[in-house]
Every structure is written in C-alpha cells, then in structure tokens.
Chain A
C-alpha cells in the first residue's frame, strides 16, 4: 500500500485542463477538485459543483440583523425609555427603517466575510490550504484522490495524454502545512 494521497495533474493551458477533466470523467475517475489561477466559464457545470448556498446564508443573516435592530430600538425607545421626538408616537416605524436597513447590511456583510473565511480556511495566522502552489500563479491543477482511485498509472497516462506538463504524487494533502 503506497502512501500517495493525491495525484495532481498540472496543466499550462485551461483548454487542455478541461480536456483532461473530460478524459477522466469518461473513464469514471472521480475528480477531487480543480484549482485554477483564474475563473473559468462553465467549469462548475462540468465538475457538477453544487450551487452555492451563500445567498441563503446572506438572507438569514440579513433577517437576523433586521430583527436585532428592531429589537434594540423597540426595547430601548419604546419599552424602556420613551422619547418624545417631534410629538410622534414612541413606535414611529418610519424612523426605525433606516437603522434596521443599515444593521441588516452590517450583519449580512460581516457574516459573509466570516463564512468566506470559514469555508476557505483562510484566517489571519493560519496557514492556507494549498495543494499546489503554482495553482495561484500559472498552472491549472486537477487533483484526484489516490486512495479512492486505485489505477494510478492509468490516471497518469490519461493526464499525460491530455497535455499535463507535470504529474505529482503527493503523500500529503496540503503542501502548505509546514
């Protein structure tokens, strides 16, 4: 049993990489992930990446913000300490709306930044998870889980045929953890 965890095919050209993905999929080899230095149109559909649930999170965080702002204003200036502002009733809803609106955006924005850090494992002081450093520069990387796919030489051959410039057999998942 080898210690190889991941096979990385490193491509210099996005079209060749897309071709490589097709070849692997034709041979029923499951792709762990693909890393590219730039966004590539249509790659999500090809890899079958599920639609992001970021919008749902944004919605609920926003609603939380709206509720929090309303609760804060309501408890302070309606329940706890009524103010007479221009002779208006204590619960003057139009006055609340700008604050509710702003806090909605604040909660939404902060929680999305948090969600981004959590899902990408980026955090100040933490080593980022990188499988191949050149994926952030000039290479297009296809990563295949070596434990799930046994025929390593066949994978190597397919990647090479598709135009991979380099094929790595890594014994650890993330090379950035030193």
Chain B
C-alpha cells in the first residue's frame, strides 16, 4: 500500500446548480404548503404532510448523528474519511428539530393533528365524547407532557449531534487524540440515550396518531426506517459529491460498505415490519388488527408498494457484490429506498390523520420536494464550511487504504 496524494484541505463549494435547485425546491414546497392552507378542507391533509416530512427530515439528520456515534464506539476505521457528510447532517439536526416541534405544536394547539387523543371531552367522564381507553392513557398522552418529552428528547439528540461535529472540528485545529477520546465517550453516552428514547419518540410522534392501537415493535420499526433512510442519504451525498469531482479518496470499498449497510438494514426493516405484521395477523385480535384493516381497506396500493420499494428493490438490486460497488446502481437503489420510506411513513401517518380522505397530489409531492430542497440547502451549507475530510482523525490512513 503506497502513499496517496489526496488534497486534505479540499472544501466543498456550495454554488451554482445545486444552490439554485435547492432554492427552487424550497419555493415549490412553500407553494404547496401555501396552497394547502388556502382551503379549510385541505388543512388536515397539509398538516399530515408537514408532520411526515418534518419527521423524515429530523430522523435522517439524527440518524446521521447516530452513524457518527456508531463509528466512534465501534472504533471503525473505514469510515474516517467520509465522516464529514454525517457530521453535516448532524449539524443540521437543530433546524430539523425546530421545524418538527413547530409542526407538532401548531398541529396540537390549532388543528386536529393528534385528534385520536387530543380532542375536547375525550378524558371528561361526563362528556358524550368520553373515551375510557384514552382517559386511561392520558397520564402519558397529554399535550404538556407530550411536548415536554419531544423537546427533551430532540434537545438531547441535538446537543450530542452538535457536540460530535464540534469535536471533529477541534480535532482538525489541534490534532492529537484528545478529541477522539472525547468523541468515543460522548458517543457511548449518546447511543445509550438514543437506544432507549427513540422508540418512545416514535411512539409519541407517529404511533399516538392512532392512540387506541399500540405495538411494542413500532419503535424499532421506525428506528430501522430512519436508520436505513439516513444511510441511503449519506450514500447519495457521497456519490453526488464524487460525481462533482470531490472526495477522490472514496473508493468502491467505501461504497461497498455503505451498500452492505443499506442491504442489511433494509432486511432488518422488513424483519421488524414482518414481525409486527405477523403477530397481529396470527393472533387476530380486533384491537390490534384494526391497524392493518385500515391499511388494507383504503391504502392497499401503498401497503404493497411499501414492501416492494423497501424490501424487494434493495434485496434484488444489492444482493450482488459488484452492484454494491457501482455508483449508478447504488444511487438508484438509494433513491428507491428514500422514496420507499416516504411511502412507509405515508401509510403510517395518513390513516391516523386524514383517515380515508387521503390523496396523492400537489400537496404531497410539493411538501416532499420542499423538504428535500431544505435538507439539501442546509446540509450542503454545513458541509461547505469546513474541509471534506477530517485530516487529524487517528484512523484516517486506514480509511484511505480501505480495501475489501
């Protein structure tokens, strides 16, 4: 293994087409959301879409921080040269969190976003709307405690995400092992917190949309979805950067590793999805089957599309070793997986918000495009602020010589 002459001060310039396109996408999103608020009957649908994309945005960014933490705790060497991409995602997390909390607060206080548990009279025994089940859950599912949990969980994720990114910046400036040791320590703490709180975060944000139904698998099901979509996002950013002439040190072996991750966690997602589905199918208890009953009744197309995009496509396309090493195939699969998890979230959220009045039109596409634009803009801006490689990372040489 010889020495390499890579430009370790290479910096991404966020200009030109990428910047223009991200602005155009944001404009489309603003237009779609604005259109959604013109007519009263579109409000709930717009809010459901806002929640979907805000949740997606926050999940991708916080899984970027999770990726960083996993690499540090595993003392992984291969990823040392690509860490700036998840770091940019982690740095964007505070913006995503503010948007998500704003959407949830607006939905709770001004609209009927969580109407299964947040509606007048549900917990009042004298009211005709009284719901014993919801009343029993109201110690946990009430607006102040709900918002407090969201703020605390997301706030803690933000602190760790920004901290891990900052430590890497310090490492660039001062060198030495100090930053690495600190990153390792904070990553350990972060992983424990993250592991215990993400299921609750998913229960709150998504599962409580249908508060009568519950599943203990739901947290891991959402975790798998956010983790695999984050991996796909990291891979897309790296591939596009390479196509634009940056990150010449990333070779097929790095891509292969990301491909294995995406392949493996797509299967993990399916495993959790199926575990949840099969137990409900097998036990056949009305209070559980209601969840899939709704989805079969009005969302059959989305239900099957979800499995095709998130399971069949990655498994068939990424099973072959050589496919994982080819940029264009990886790019295609990553885009399929990202669309797939949009569909996944769509059929998680819509039946509990707009029920059978769901649609797929300008609001859905526009909101999604807008958030993609926002993500592109914020992440690429964060990425352009420092060199594309952490030059003092102790495992950098291992990563540059990575070979599978």
Contact = CB atoms under 8 A, between A and B. Distances in A.
A41 interface: yes
B403 A98 contact: no
A86 interface: yes
Interface string B117-134: 000000000000000000
A87 B319 CA distance: 37
A86 B284 contact: yes
Most chain A beta-carbon contacts within 10 A, residue among B1, B277, B282: B282
A41 B403 contact: yes
Contacts, number: 22
Contact of A97 (B1, B278, B319, B403): B278
Contact of B278 (A41, A86, A94): A94
Given A41-B1, A41-B403, A42-B403, A95 B321 contact: no
A55 B278 contact: no
Nearest to A85: B282
A164 to B, nearest CB: 23
Interface in A68-105: 86-88, 94-95, 97-98
Interface string B390-404: 000000000000010
B214 interface: no
B274 interface: yes
Given A41-B1, A42-B403, A94 B321 contact: no
A116 to B, nearest CB: 19
Contacts of A55: 321
B281 interface: yes
A33 B296 CA distance: 60
Contacts of B403: 41-42
Interface string A14-41: 0000000000000000000000000001
Q: Is the interface of B mostly helix, strand, loop or mixed?
A: helix
A92 to B, nearest CB: 8
Interface string B278-291: 10011110000000
B376 to A, nearest CB: 36
Contact of B282 (A41, A42, A59, A86): A86
Nearest to B322: A51
A95 B284 CA distance: 12
B208 to A, nearest CB: 27
B278 A98 contact: yes
Nearest to A41: B403
A94 B279 CA distance: 10
Given A41-B403, A55-B321, A95 B1 contact: no
Q: How large is the interface on B (under 10, 10 to 19, 20 to 34, 35 or more residues)?
A: 10 to 19
Contacts of A42: 1, 403
Contacts of B282: 86, 94-95
A11 B277 CA distance: 59
A102 to B, nearest CB: 12
Nearest to A59: B319
A94 B282 CA distance: 9
Nearest to B319: A59
Given A41-B403, A55-B321, A94 B1 contact: no
Contacts of A41: 1, 403
B387 to A, nearest CB: 28
A28 to B, nearest CB: 25
B274 A97 contact: yes
Nearest to A95: B282
A19 to B, nearest CB: 15
Nearest to B277: A94
Contacts of B319: 59
A41 B404 CA distance: 9
A97 B307 CA distance: 15
A151 B283 CA distance: 76
Contacts of B1: 41-42
A59 B315 CA distance: 13
Nearest to B403: A41
B291 to A, nearest CB: 15
A91 B221 CA distance: 27
Contacts of A98: 278
Interface string B53-85: 000000000000000000000000000000000
A87 B278 CA distance: 15
A59 to B, nearest CB: 8
Contacts of A95: 278, 281-282
Interface string B256-286: 0000000000000000001001100111100
11 contacts: A41-B403, A42-B403, A59-B319, A86-B283, A87-B284, A88-B284, A94-B277, A94-B278, A94-B282, A95-B281, A98-B278
Interface of B: 1, 274, 277-278, 281-284, 319, 321, 403
Given A86-B284, A94-B282, A97-B278, 11 more contacts: A41-B1, A41-B403, A55-B321, A59-B319, A86-B283, A94-B274, A94-B277, A94-B278, A95-B282, A97-B274, A98-B278
Which 6 pairs show the lowest CB-CB distances between chains A and B?
A94-B278, A86-B284, A94-B281, A41-B403, A95-B282, A97-B274
